[in-house]
Structure 1
Amino acid sequence: MSLKISPVELRHKIRRGEHNSNTSGFCHGYLQCNLVMLPKDWAADFLKFCQLNQKPCPLISVSENPGDTHLNFLAEDLDLRTDIPSYRIFKDGVMTTEVNDITDYWRDDLVTFALGCSFSFEESLQADGLDVRNITEQVNVPMYRTNIACTPAGPFNGNMVVSMRPFVARDAIRAIQICTRFPAVHGAPVHFGDPQLIGIDDLAATDYGDAVTLKEHEQPVFWACGVTPQVALEQAKPPFCITHSPGCMLVTDIPNSRLALM
């Protein structure tokens, strides 16, 4: 599939079952989002969790009413039940299955949260001449659980998940400068250098996504990641919820340029 495909074209291909893998590198110029779908009785506490942990959980949009299968202002012709490449189904905090269509799982009490995704700032890194290794190697971005604690809210708590991209020192500094302008999609990195300082023992052993090559003189650079809510869901144990599968995002019609601070 062409990486230059438009967001609506990509969503239609996903809906038809023609694309069921990660969305990194697709639809340059457009915001991508992580998703969490929770019963309305759990929504207020999760909203507070996002507000208290804006680095890993930058809130972009919330469904206007429980049961809505679209998100206003994010995309035209959007069906949340079919237009994400892969979904995870959780019961009592445990992931039970991954599916490409949640029509049979949909409930009228579900509230959908869309959270900013680091895929949206990758194009700005590339535009500055930086090598975004997961795109170069055509794999899902590597993601890791850390020892960085989130601020609890009600039953929601847990440690941050991070994504990693390797750079030499001068490029790492430039990446920090670029991403600071995009707080709505995780902003500046939370750590670079020794991964053991944030509880990661082996970069080759990813918790989500795929390992990438770390070249000589490169340092791993870590960004807060929107998979963090899935760790919080494991701790909170809601009876039922749905998320995106790591790396498989909602691709919206919102230009990334609207997210940048001047």
Structure 2
Amino acid sequence: MTTGLQDSATGGVAKQRASTYGYYRQENGWITISAATELEENARRKRGWEPLTHYGRVEMATGYAINHPLEALFMQGGAKELCREQIIQSGFHLTPPVVPACRTLLSQYHKGHSEACWVDAEPVTFPQLEGDVPAGFQCRFCDRDLHPTEQARDQHEEVMHKEQRGEIRTGKVLADSMVEGLGGKAPSAEPALPGTQHPYACGYCGAGFDKSGPFLKHVEGHNEENADATKSSDEDVGSENAGTENGTESES
């Protein structure tokens, strides 16, 4: 007896065949797959969904099919149906989905794709992005794959780099307080050069950084230099005071 996970891995059809499904265009332009019996199709029409009946019915009886709901659409040349927003939000512009070269829809006769199905498989192309493929957003704390949107990048940072984000916020508060204590003038020898703006800028020298790690290390270097300078100054003052006291004792 196999488990549901094993059925998903092998692409086997579940004992109880799922209802037939079809593709719809929602009111916001996004393409989705949903049950497509006559009753359910009419109900979705009333909600403003447009059935894309020319792509036929799709079986959703395996774990693979559930995890690749748009594969049948892409196999039939339906990539053009997706709006730009859905493509970008889904990250398809950064990592286009790959469809098997067999171009055979899943069914009781083709329960899963074999290795031969993937020979010469090619990624899906989206004509609506031609000449205007937006760049992804790199995490400011690590070198993981690009994120499709700024919101996705921020969510990743909030979850995976919460402590580091907190350090940046704390550093900004301290920097603002320091600037306020200096009469509103930042301790910067030279401002950052125009056209070289970065997410992180040193308040001492104006150097710009794209990531927080190098930025924090750079600022720590300035802090150490300032601490050494203060220590040296205190030692010089102490030496002068000692010399004055010795001179006074000699005179007496």
Normalization by structure 1: what TM-score?
Answer: 0.20
Normalization by structure 2: what TM-score?
Answer: 0.20
Q: Which has the higher contact order (CA 8 A, sep 6+)?
A: 1
Higher-Rg structure is 2
